Amino acid sequence: IDAKLSIDLSRNELQGIVPANLARFNSLELYLKDNFFDGLPKALCEKKGWNNGDVLRSGCDGILCPKGTSSQPTGRATDGGTCSRCSTAFYLGQSDCFSATADARSIAVTQKPFLSFTCHIFLLCVLHMPFLLSF
C-alpha cells in the first residue's frame, strides 16, 4: 500500500513482537515508543520509506531503539539523534533512561495515556487498513 499513513501507538502497554504484516505499507510514520516490545521483524527494518527516511539511515533503530538503549524523545534513531546506551532499557523503543536504582518497568507502566489501546485493537486496525483506505 503506497498511501502515506501515520500511526501513533506510543505508551499503550503493547507487548510481544511488532506485527510483521505492517510490511505491506511502503510509506509509514510509525510511533511505538515506551511499550513493552521485545521483537522487531527484519522485514520491517528494510522499509526505506518509513519514518521520514530514518529506517533508510538507521535500519531497525529507525523504528525502535534496541534493548539496552534509549533515545529522547522518540524512542528511535532519527536524523537528529541516535540510540544511546541505557542499562535500564529492558524493551525496544524506550525514550527515557531511568537511573539504575529505579524499577524502569514500573515507572513506564505508570505513564499510561488517557486513551489506551490493546494489542488486539492495534492488530484489528492494521489488518483492516486496506478496507478503511478504500473509502
Number of separate helices (H) and strands (E) present in the chain: 4, 6
Q: Any idea what the Cα angle at residue 116 is, between residues 107 and 104, rounded to 5°?
A: 15
Cβ contacts of residue 36 below 8 Å, gap of 6+? 13, 14, 15, 16, 91, 105, 108
* Percent of the residues in the chain that have a pLDDT greater than 70, as a whole number: 73
Position 114 scores a pLDDT of 40
Longest dimension (CA), the chain: 51
Query: What would the grid cell of residue 52 be?
Result: 521520514
Q: How many CB atoms sit inside 10 A of residue 106's CB?
A: 9
**Domain residue spans of the chain:** 5-133
Could you tell me if 93 and 44 are in contact, meaning their C-beta atoms sit under 8 angstroms apart? no
Could you tell me if 24 and 45 are in contact, meaning their C-beta atoms sit under 8 angstroms apart? no
Rg from Cα positions in the chain: 15
pLDDT for 63-117, tens place per residue?
999 999 999 999 999 998 999 999 999 999 999 998 755 554 555 444 444 444 4
pLDDT for 107-121, tens place per residue?
544 444 444 444 445
